[in-house]
Amino acid sequence: MRGVETSQLLKGVLDLAVLAVLHDDDAYGYAIVRRLREAGIEDVGDASVYGTLRRLFQAGCLASYVKPSDEGPNRKYYAINDTGRDQLAIGAKEWRTFVNNIDHLLPEEVAA
């Protein structure tokens, strides 16, 4: 299951993934993309992550601040706040329930 279907799956949980990355540490846009890719979510596009950041920020889940860089442009960092942590907790719980349910649904020989 590659391509469109994987990216469709991903869209539903990108919020959760981005919140999880920021839960570890504050980060700027492209750094988050890199962290997601390092974590194995390679299909993720820069535009998707950037859009998700904007939406989470507008929903009040994130704070942001600009940090000067030694070389290159200033960087806009995002930080998770209490609302974001609540969302992360809720999302994580939903995700585990969902994965669990799907696991039970899948035939044994495929689920391995």
Half-sphere exposure of 27 (CA within 13 A, CB side): 19
Segment interacting with other proteins (CB under 8 A) among 29-37, 81-89, 93-101, 102-110:
29-37
Q: Does 67 bind other proteins (CB under 8 A)?
A: no
Q: Does 54 bind other proteins (CB under 8 A)?
A: yes
Rule CB under 8 A: choose which of 9, 30, 38, 94 binds other proteins.
30
Q: What is the largest CA-CA distance in the chain?
A: 54
- Token readout for 6 is 């994987």
Specify the residue for token string 């919020």: 15
Q: Does 31 bind other proteins (CB under 8 A)?
A: yes
Least distance to other proteins, CB of residue 17, Å? 12
Residue 78 neighbours by CB under 8 Å, 6+ apart: 22, 26, 27, 28, 29, 32, 53, 56, 57, 62, 63, 64
Segment interacting with other proteins (CB under 8 A) among 23-31, 81-89, 91-99, 102-110:
23-31
Q: Does 42 bind other proteins (CB under 8 A)?
A: no
CA distance 46 to 32: 9
Residues that bind other proteins (CB under 8 A): 11, 14, 28-31, 34, 45-55, 69, 71-76
